[in-house]
Amino acid sequence: MVLLYQAMLSLPLYPDSPTERTRWILARRGPKTSHDPRQPYGSFIEDEPGPDGTLWRCHTLLLTNRECAFRCLMCDLWQDTLDTTTESGAIAAQVASLPPNPRPTEEPMGCALKLYNAGSFFDPGQVPTADYQAIADKARHFDRVIVESHTAFLRGKHVERVLAFQDAIAPATLEVAIGLETVHEEALEKLNKRMTVADFRHAAAFLALNQIALRVFLLVRPPFLTEEEGVEWGCRSLDVAHECGATFAALLPTRAGNGALEALAEQGHYTPPKLQSLEACLRYGQSLEGTMRVTADLWDIEPFVKSDDDRACVTRIAELNQNQGRP
């Protein structure tokens, strides 16, 4: 016990200042994976509840581009990014792999395109503006196009770029996914996200004003919270997403794997959430009035499964994801 205590004392503590935090996070990173800058580093097709309540076909491209400008504590997306500014034409080449007619022929279904770029679609260093037209030529054949963005790229001089992309993909609806993570202000600050809940509200208002749909990513039990706090703040975060007009909220169990969270776990500041906590937040979100869809992310869920009860919980979550809590 004494040895363990001494070992914990010798670990460099998580710093208070943002600059020091960034250094601390970067120092715990492993190597990146090398990718072809003209190929998406992943793609898949799945069905997801759509805005009309039916299941929609979703094509996802994981775009290869320059690393995100931020250094969030829990992020592992940098592992599949490039160190240099994305060259003009590279993203256009990546979307060329999309089918010319993505609509399923076997049954009438809505179809959505997720262009996830491990950062902010509206950061021109990640997705060059010169590529928007080529992207739009593919994207407008979908009903909805979902991209992700930090709030920093949804204000000031950046809004023109957002609106230009929205125009370019018409008649498809633009949806922007923001990683709000948590409305626990202190935990959010420590995540090194460089974003406040007020920033989120401001970005949500901008999107609503321009008829752009809002999707929100939320962490269940981020670092620095207990299991009970993880559930409570997961629910409060869903409340804020709902108040701000989100059409979709995706709950993510906070995962290790980026080096920083493993170090925090050694200091007792991070423990993975229980699946039952994820389910509790999911049920809460689906009980809110209105049409906000809420799902819990089951990607790579095996490390969270420790018992038969957990296995049953995963089955229930998968059903809730599909039917949105309706019988």
Residues that bind ligand SF4 in the complex, under the rule CB under 6 A: 68, 70-72, 75, 77, 118-119, 150, 179, 193
Nearest CA-CA partner of 103 in 54, 148, 142, 52: 142
- In the complex with ligand SF4, the residue whose CB is nearer, 168 or 178, is 178
Interacting residues of 106 by C-beta distance below 8 A, sequence separation 6+: none
Shortest separation between residue 115's beta carbon and ligand SF4, angstroms: 14
Q: Write down the least CB distance from residue 257 to ligand SF4, Å.
A: 13
Alpha helices in the chain (DSSP H): 2-10, 18-27, 90-95, 132-139, 159-169, 185-190, 197-209, 227-243, 260-266, 275-287, 308-323
Residue number, 18 or 104, with CB nearest to ligand SF4: 18
> Cβ closer to ligand SF4: 61 or 118?
118
CB of 91 to ligand SF4, least distance (A): 16
The verdict on whether omega for the bond into residue 253 sits within 30 degrees of 0, i.e. cis, is no
- Is the CB of 48 or the CB of 80 nearer to ligand SF4? 80
Q: How far, in Å, CA of 187 to CA of 171, rounded? A: 39
Of the pair 143, 181, the CB lying nearest ligand SF4 is at: 181
In a 3-state reduction of DSSP, which class is residue 136? helix
